[in-house]
Amino acid sequence: MSNEITIKIDGIEYKTQEGEYILNAARANDIFIPAICYLTRCSPTLACRICLVEADGKRVYACNAKVKDGMEVTTSTEEILEERRAIMEVYDVNHPLQCGVCDQSGECELQNYTLELGVDSQSYMIPDTKREATDWSSVLHYDPGLCIVCERCTTVCKDMIGDAAIKTGPRGGTALDKGLKDTMPKDAYAMWNKLQKSVIVPSNGTGQTDCSDCGECVAVCPVGALVSRDFVYTTNAWDLKRIPATCAHCSSGCQIYYETKPTSIEDSSEKIYRVTNEWNYVSLCGAGRFGYDFENRVEGKDSEAFGSAVAALKKAETIRFNSVISNEEALMLQTFKEKRGVKLVNQDAYAFQKFLKAYSRPAGKLLYGSDFKEVMKSDFVISVGSALRNDNPNARYAFNNVQKMNKGAGLYFHPVGDTLVPTFGKNVECFAHKPGLEEAALYLILDLFAKKEDLPEKVVSYLDGFHSKGRKTIKERVMESITETVVDKETGNAKEVTKKVPKMVEKEVEVENNALVTLLGGSDSFADTFEKMMKKKERFSLIVGEDLYFHPKAENLAALLAMIESTCGMEVVMVPPKTNSLGVALICDLDESPAGYTVGYNEPGDFVLSALGDGDLDMPAMNQQEGTLTNMNKQVTPTNAALEYHGYELNDLMSAVGLGRHLTVDWTPALAEKRGFQAFAFDDLPNGYSNSGEEQRGYALKNPGKRAGNNMPQAFDEDMALDGEIAYRCNPQRQFNDFSDKAHQIFETFALYASPERAEALGEKVEVDFGSGTLACSVVADERMEGDIVKIPDFKSSKDIYTLFGRDRYKNVTIRKV
């Protein structure tokens, strides 16, 4: 696909890739072409038409015309400039003169292009339409008066996020004077004609969006029309200090900017006002965008508490922590373990670490082969064992984006029915199999995609065992010829007329039955569907998630994955369970269960170090410290302190026991002693994107290979499937840990989540009996869930949910109404 070609832009030669849009080719070479409606990674909508250029003498739109070898592009001619000026004039018609209060405050593309194109007078007019500002959800605020209907919000919501929760709706404006068609530039007319007819509305027909509340629409809006409710009129963009960071809520590790300013006139301490992102290259979820105020404000150093913390560390036998922790802190804990022989317990990373090890042996490399940037380039994506909507938003965005942008297809294997995933594309097949049958799903992938000659014979014959020939009666429409005798009324002659009429006949055909498909709950016609899905597909990718790491047969699953990678022409990407589980798994040598005197770090323990402010010694939260995080794309990314912190850090504790370094970030180069990491100084790590969208953040983990070990996966046991009442450990959307929960704009509560029918049957409050313990919680209906399995969140560490679930993610439970 990536053939390098040469094009000429304004007479100068540039290199670019075949299949690239002219606009992107120009941007990658630092050439400016005005463009409003286009979003990198989404489909061109041609709403603004301002990206007009001339390519080989023809007028084309730079955002949707692809480059050809030797193409000559002219970015502006007098005629094009006139067209662009007219477009900007039209955008300015009836646009309220409220830049003075507008939240876009100088970051406005409408302002920029109006000035850029030198629009200093208005030639068009039309009566205005009354449009009132509304709140679409708990976070979204829409002012249609400011909206220029560029459709960036609807595009990102559909093509990237997958919710398609907003669309263009009728504006009720006066129709354009048809005469204008001849008198004004034609693209400007076409743009105006559409603009005058539309505003943006929630797609569900109500005034409220029913979506994931990711706020990506707010981010992409070029004007002040879409703003987060909390931010409206609180500050100007130019007053905010931008701190490049890495979101610490999930393993996606998105690049974000914390934007801070003093709280108020009375309180001069810095406060985070909003989180922004490079929306052309990275999409956030609601937790990252709105869950930013989880800092731990402390007055000063509490030396007494520090003293007891040092004493507690000295007598500690176990340190219990979770993966909302930087690589540096993980290395500190590991160093402490090496010197003091304590146990390190981290429940989310432990299973993942074991799984990685089990995978690494047969696969012959340290880490999984692919990442989500690669997934986005594929055209067939499969997900096994990940609650796509909840576990990792960017895994889901990638799954959705493949459907929308690459004319892709997808297979989604997950026991908990989801109503959103099937809407991502018409070529998405969902298998709501029973929990425990993940091995069967991987076997089915082998069956469908593996080159049989690469598979060990044993596996081939095992797979063949699932195939059987059967006969099936199907209904078929056939055309039948009927011959009738018609008598011509006038002549009286009888005539034979033959007509063809459709008729349904039953027919018996020979079919291939695949017992794996049936076992996984696939439809009978899957073979045909699959054939259609496979048409013109070239690049395949496989996403796997936490269900596999917490599976009783995790090792076998890991072996199957290694086999899939080597025989199916697709590489695997794993979704680490929590923020820095991958980093922790690589750095720390973890133990299964705690024993003796336990120091908890953001986890329960006999002595608790807490960044939540509820422990025995305060620690800085992730937005108050610098360090690096390892994300699911195998990238070690830096994050900076957005807010001040006046207390003690983990490094101070390490110093007190003789293991500390001068600064926390002095541990960054020392990470190199762990496999995969490299010796970079923290201050040398970049954190941004280039004009061509290349990610320049930290460094990529090395993935050293070795000789692949012997690999012979075992057969699966159908009886592993769980039946009966099942609870699934899974967080609601936008909720990942205690920190997202602490943020004031994240409202999702700690409760049992169930499909609407199930929730109604369960009533308001229930008690869930896990056998090893019980949990009382309220019931919340999740409109997007289907089926009987209920979800129990694990984001509150105080509830100790991991212990209730034990080594599993699915658990048979008894639910009692209370």
Binds 564, which of ligand SF4, other proteins, ligand FES, none (CB < 5 to 8 A, cut-off by type)? none
Q: How far is the CB of 142 from other proteins (least distance, A)?
A: 12
Q: Which stretch binds other proteins (CB under 8 A): 163-171, 260-268, 350-358, 382-390?
A: 260-268
Find which of other proteins, ligand SF4, ligand FES, none residue 714 binds, CB within 5 to 8 Å per kind. none
Task: Tell which residue, 557, 519, 542, has the closest CA to residue 431.
Answer: 519
Which option in other proteins, ligand FES, ligand SF4, none does residue 416 bind, with CB closer than 5 to 8 A by kind?
none
- 235 near other proteins (CB under 8 A): yes
Least separation in angstroms between residue 52's CB and ligand FES is 8
| Residue 382 interacts with, from ligand FES, ligand SF4, other proteins, none (CB under 5-8 Å by kind) | none
Q: Does 21 contact ligand FES by CB under 6 A? A: no
Per CB under 8 A, contacts with other proteins among 236-255 are: 236, 238-239
Side chain identity at residue 122, one-letter code: Q
In sequence order, what are the residues at sequence separation of 6 or more whose Cβ sits closer than 8 angstroms to the Cβ of residue 20?
28, 66, 67
Q: Does 51 bind ligand FES (CB under 6 A)?
A: yes
Structure tokens at 223: 């004007």
Q: Which does 225 bind (CB under 5 to 8 A by kind): ligand FES, other proteins, ligand SF4, none?
A: ligand SF4
Sheet strand arrangement including 52-55: 12-17, 4-9, 72-74, 52-55, 58-61
Helices of type H across 621-768: 650-656, 738-742, 756-762
* 118 is a contact residue toward other proteins (CB under 8 A): no
Whether the Cβ atoms of residue 645 and residue 296 lie closer than 8 Å to each other: yes
* Beta carbon of residue 111, minimum distance to other proteins (angstroms, whole number): 14
761 backbone dihedrals φ, ψ, rounded to 5°: -65, -30
Strands 4-9 and 72-74: parallel
Query: Does 127 participate in binding other proteins (rule CB under 8 A)?
Result: yes
User: Out of ligand FES, other proteins, ligand SF4, none, which partner does residue 46 contact, by CB within 5 to 8 A per kind?
Assistant: ligand FES
Establish if 325 lies at the interface with ligand SF4 (CB under 6 A): no
How remote is the C-alpha of 734 from its chain's centroid?
11
Closer to ligand SF4 at the Cβ: 533 or 643?
A: 643
Q: What is the largest CA-CA distance in the chain?
A: 117
Binding-site member from 285, 544, 561, 730 for ligand SF4 (CB under 6 A): 285
In angstroms, the CA 515 to CA 437 distance is: 13
The least CB distance from residue 226 to ligand SF4, in Å, is 4
Q: Sort 760 into a burial class: Cβ within 10 Å, 0-12 / 13-18 / 19+.
A: exposed
Which residue bears the tokens 């008066």?
A: 145
Q: Which stretch binds ligand FES (CB under 6 A): 42-50, 650-658, 721-729, 791-799?
A: 42-50
CA distance 768 to 319: 29
CA dist 58 → 54, 499, 580, 591 (Å) = 5, 52, 51, 66
129 binding other proteins? (CB under 8 A): no
Count of beta carbons in the 10 Å neighbourhood of residue 96: 13
**Segment (H or E) for 191:** helix 186-195
Q: What are 5's two structure tokens? A: 């070609």
Q: Which residues contact 762 (CB under 8 A, 6 or more apart)?
A: 752, 754, 779, 790, 815, 817
Q: Does the footprint of ligand SF4 cover residue 250 (CB under 6 A)?
A: yes
Q: Which residue lies nearer to ligand FES by CB, 61 or 279?
A: 61
Contact between 148 and ligand SF4 by CB under 6 A: the answer reads yes
Under the criterion CB under 6 A, does residue 249 sit at the interface with ligand SF4? yes
Q: Do 415 and 785 touch, CB atoms closer than 8 A?
A: no
- Alpha-carbon dihedral sign for residues 143, 144, 150, 155: positive
Q: Which of the choices other proteins, ligand SF4, ligand FES, none does residue 38 contact, using the CB cut-off of 5 to 8 A by kind?
A: ligand FES
Is 178 an interacting residue with respect to other proteins (CB under 8 A)? Answer: no
Distance CA 570, CA 543 (A): 10
Taking CA atoms, 690 is separated from 282, 397, 636, 675, 716, in Å, by 12, 21, 18, 28, 47
Distance CA 787, CA 765 (A): 19
Residues 60-99 that bind ligand FES (CB under 6 A): 61, 63
Q: Which is nearer to other proteins, 204 or 264 (CB)?
A: 264
126 binds, among ligand FES, other proteins, ligand SF4, none (CB under 5 to 8 A by kind): other proteins
At residue 556, φ and ψ (nearest 5 deg) are -65, -40
Q: Left, alpha or beta for 743 (phi > 0: left; psi -120 to 50: alpha)?
A: beta
Q: Binding mask 104-133 vs ligand SF4 (x if CB under 6 A, - otherwise)?
A: x---x-xx----------------------
Based on the shown chain and the rule CB under 6 A, indicate whether residue 274 belongs to the binding site for ligand SF4.
no
Residue 232: name its binding partner from ligand FES, other proteins, ligand SF4, none (Cβ under 5 to 8 Å by kind): other proteins
Site string for other proteins, 261-300 (x = CB under 8 A): ---xxx----------------------------------
Phi and psi, residue 587, nearest 5°:
-90, -45
**Residue with Cβ nearer ligand SF4 (49 or 433):** 49
Instruction: Transcribe 291-321 into DSSP letters.
Output: ---------S--HHHHHHHHHHHHH-SEEEE
Nearer to ligand FES, 23 or 759 (CB): 23
Indicate whether 567 belongs to the interface with ligand SF4 (CB under 6 A): no
Considering only residues 477-516, where is the footprint of ligand SF4 by CB under 6 A?
none
The residues in 252-271 that bind ligand SF4, with binding defined as CB under 6 A, are: 252-254
Q: For residue 531, give both structure tokens.
A: 């054939």
Closer by beta carbon to ligand FES, 156 or else 332: 156
Specify whether the CB–CB gap between 667 and 328 falls below 8 A.
Answer: yes
Closest distance of CB 691 from ligand FES, Å? 16
Residue 285 binding target from ligand FES, ligand SF4, other proteins, none, CB below 5 to 8 Å by type: ligand SF4
* Site mask for ligand SF4 (CB under 6 A), range 81-100, x = bound: --------------xx-xx-
Instruction: Give the three-class secondary structure for 801.
Output: helix
Asked if 793 is part of the footprint of ligand SF4 (rule: CB under 6 A), the reply reads no
Of the candidate spans 126-134, 448-456, 618-626, 696-704, the one that interacts with other proteins by CB under 8 A turns out to be: 126-134
The DSSP call for residue 41 is T
Name which position in 22, 35, 218, 428 contacts ligand FES (CB under 6 A). 35
CB 793 within 8 A of CB 751: yes
- When binding is defined by CB under 8 A, the residue of 126, 515, 656, 781 that contacts other proteins is 126
Q: Which of these ranges, 47-55, 313-321, 373-381, 445-453, lies near ligand FES under the rule CB under 6 A?
A: 47-55
The answer to whether the beta carbons of residues 606 and 597 sit under 8 Å apart is yes
CA 737 to CA 249: how far, in whole Å? 7
Q: Which is nearer to other proteins, 32 or 233 (CB)?
A: 233
Phi, psi of 254 (to 5 degrees): -65, 150
The yes or no reply on residue 469 touching other proteins (CB under 8 A) is: no
What would the x/- binding string for other proteins be over residues 181 to 220, using CB under 8 A?
A: ----------------------------------------
Q: Which residues bind other proteins (CB under 8 A)?
A: 100-101, 105, 120-127, 133, 232-236, 238-239, 264-266
Q: Which residues bind ligand FES (CB under 6 A)?
A: 35-38, 44, 46-51, 61, 63
Q: Which residues bind ligand SF4 (CB under 6 A)?
A: 95-96, 98-99, 102, 104, 108, 110-111, 146-153, 200, 220-226, 247, 249-250, 252-254, 284-285, 287-288, 393-394, 736
